[in-house]
Chains A and B, each alone.
Chain A
């Protein structure tokens, strides 16, 4: 290669001049094309975290229950009784933008394999999705196909999809966010590692055959989306949930039989990343014989085989005497099972084809992408965000209409038409189904259980990156608390624009700071995660959107709460953590007045939120309350209406309370009182005879300057708020349950 074509080649592979020079320095010779390909995929942002690694070190990673922090395929926390949970969230944004069905499907497949690689049985999937508004045909198409893809894969593979969130905003037009989270269950003594050890041990490829699908997918995912992206459809992998189901059963069987030294899934960058990571972790070398890899198409070059992202494949390290047994199991499950290499002591990832060495790179060099530290500069736009001019905002005349409009708006409407397309009950562990604040799952054979939630925020993080980052963690903490689970740890997916631009870098750095502060206050360390940068199109960058997956545990899963009203005559109370109520950045402002990017929501008081959340959880655990809901988007009246709808029991606000709401706390306006948003507020319901006990539990709040109000009683089939709102439940339901796909 002459110098010009060398530059063309590495540029086309996504490497910068600086990175190429670094490779020359490390290799002490020019790399050949195969070696350059290995570097290009391993040093992509997707695999190498080169822009985010220095910032990610800010997250707390340790905690009493943490068995495995970042660095393996998933984080692991202890549940008790010898059980542990492995969990992680991952993005599949770029593939889903181009080929939504397969992009979303393989996103689910990929995260399930991460959990499997820890030795855990995948028991729950959750998804966090963001699209542009449904008034655009392309957005409707992406939304419909992404949901079909998640269902098509998850339903067939037999792992229930138990929760998630969906949000629509112009900022995601053309660049949807598809983040999938999986939780797996494992006995603590069976925890697996991806660390390759033992010179002479064999490398076994398990699962599907290898094709040309997804070549350079990792590099593709680390670039901005453009018109050209459409022509890169072949960069998107195609999923086969049937093969994945067999791979799950086969690998769990191999682990049960104690036949594996270590296990790793093949995801981004295929065999290259799996083998080099396994080698780097174990401080050993791995030799791969590409001609041994079973192919589904002819004429594949060694470099293609090395970086193919064909799905449903796992790489296992096996002791030579166990290989025969391993292969008899792969055959029983109808899977590819082939020895494709061996563990060596030379520390290199060495590629051999037909007996000839065609490339060799030190594994730790591949695993050690250069990192970029940039200056954090406050963007100008933050000082130019218009303030909300409250006086100019007209008061609505018909509050019935406002409530119906809010409940029917795509961001607040029931998600039933989505989650009914997902099998959320297979494996028969689902205690609380989708639609509640968090999913609740039991652990068979014990009294224990766990809860999981996934939450994200875009607009808030755009308006106030640090505050928004903290608010996402707080929301997840509240969601787990109000089903009664003790939150224990976090997995995060950071969806951002280009970190090479100052605004993008600032948003990333500040959001991470806010999230880290919140994780410290809440005692919920980050144990796994993923980064998706370069989410930009010709329309600009997406909102900075950190997504938090959080798991919590129950000692007794029968003591949980759900949002729906359960009885007539229950007392309903609202419990506050004392943040200021505001319409800034609210759903009301956006849906009713068409204003979105003005001002930022009020700040989150983390310590107060924790206090309130913990008291709510304690009351659930004590059996005092079984009905609780986090008041978030849409404000108090929307949240209480949701509780009435979920339970099919009506509610009437106490007359005096309505007056207090509007007049008190300086609200003076009904729309602010009803639909204003504040952080750390819960609505709870309970039989009246428990009021004394509930008050005693809440009395602790008094000393913290926090408060609570009894707002009325459940009953009947109508929803009433003073002289302002009076709507029958069926009418509310008609607006709330409208199909999102029609």
Chain B
């Protein structure tokens, strides 16, 4: 299985994501932002970082990059797309996911491990997890405070589209939301970084279980 990782100017978790892809036994593929070419990948990760320096708004400029047109097409066709942190922000800016990520309630950047619960397992990025399974995942962001209007939040909850929920909310997110999916359930955005907990040498490899989901979903 080939998993593409989009690389924007200012992405800084691209290498970590490519490394994690290798660790789950898939083939990592670099997708350069200026090239409208997905290189026949089977799934796409939009990684964390500060695309275009977070200037204007996190994700606001990256969404117009050439590669994003192809990512949008791929997503509409049902291809599995995972946005992590800045990638989540890019996907909301591109309207592939509802809502927006506001500045943390503390007005501070926050880098720590937080307990989260898997709320939906019927997505290509959580299929390998148990319903209600809990993980300790690192967050590292300044704008992770999930916001959507009341109707949208109600719809997300009703339709089971809250994929990941904080058990200790680090940023003020509405309904403790750590991740959501689109209507088609193939596009998922999460603030925590599974690629950062992908090696027991660093203390935990819980994140690999999440990332392996895409292999399960693809029947590999």
Contact = CB atoms under 8 A, between A and B. Distances in A.
Contact of B196 (A156, A158, A246, A425): A425
Contacts of B49: 158
Interface in B41-76: 49-50, 52-55
A156 B9 contact: no
Nearest to B15: A427
B66 to A, nearest CB: 13
A442 B202 CA distance: 8
B82 to A, nearest CB: 17
A328 interface: no
A333 B52 CA distance: 11
Given A156-B10, A333-B9, A334-B9, A423 B111 contact: yes
A428 B198 contact: yes
Interface in A201-241: 240-241
A428 B55 CA distance: 25
Contacts of B53: 156, 240-243, 245
A157 interface: yes
B9 A428 contact: no
Interface in A312-355: 333-334
Contacts of B140: 155, 423, 425-426
A733 to B, nearest CB: 15
A195 to B, nearest CB: 31
B112 interface: yes
Contact of B201 (A156, A241, A442): A442
Contacts of B196: 425-426, 428
Given A425-B196, A428-B202, A246 B9 contact: yes
A156 B202 contact: no
A431 B49 CA distance: 21
B39 interface: no
B110 interface: yes
Interface residues of A, number: 31
B111 A557 contact: no
Interface string A653-686: 0000000000000000000000000000000000
Contacts of A444: 19
B55 A431 contact: no
A424 interface: yes
B159 to A, nearest CB: 33
Interface in A390-426: 419-426
B12 A558 contact: no
B50 A425 contact: no
B109 A421 contact: yes
A151 interface: yes
A426 B16 contact: yes
A535 interface: no
A430 interface: yes
Given A241-B50, A426-B140, A431 B111 contact: no
Contacts of B199: 428
Nearest to B49: A158
Choose among A245, A424, A430, A558 the residue with the greatest number of B CB atoms under 10 Å from its CB: A245
B216 to A, nearest CB: 23
Nearest to A249: B9
A242 B10 contact: yes
A90 to B, nearest CB: 22
Most chain B CB within a 10 A radius of its CB, from A151, A246, A420, A444: A420
B95 interface: no
A382 to B, nearest CB: 43
A157 B11 CA distance: 9
Contacts of A431: 201-203
A242 B53 CA distance: 5
Nearest to B203: A431
Given A245-B12, A428-B196, A151 B202 contact: no
Contacts of A557: 201
Interface string B15-42: 1100100000000000000000000000
B179 interface: no
Given A421-B110, A421-B111, A442-B201, A426 B50 contact: no
B108 interface: yes
Given A156-B50, A420-B111, A421-B110, A245 B201 contact: no
Contacts of A430: 202
B101 interface: no
Nearest to A558: B201
A158 B202 contact: no
B60 to A, nearest CB: 14
B138 A425 contact: yes
A680 B55 CA distance: 48
A424 B202 contact: no
A426 B110 contact: no
Contacts of B10: 156, 242, 245-246
Nearest to A442: B201
10 closest Cβ pairs, A-B complex:
A158-B12, A242-B53, A156-B50, A428-B16, A423-B140, A421-B109, A423-B111, A242-B10, A151-B109, A425-B196
Given A421-B108, A426-B140, A427-B15, 17 more contacts: A151-B109, A240-B53, A242-B50, A242-B53, A245-B53, A419-B111, A420-B110, A421-B109, A425-B138, A425-B140, A425-B196, A428-B16, A428-B195, A430-B202, A431-B202, A431-B203, A442-B201
18 contacts: A155-B142, A156-B53, A158-B12, A158-B50, A242-B10, A242-B53, A242-B55, A333-B9, A334-B9, A420-B108, A421-B111, A425-B140, A426-B12, A427-B15, A428-B16, A428-B19, A431-B203, A557-B201
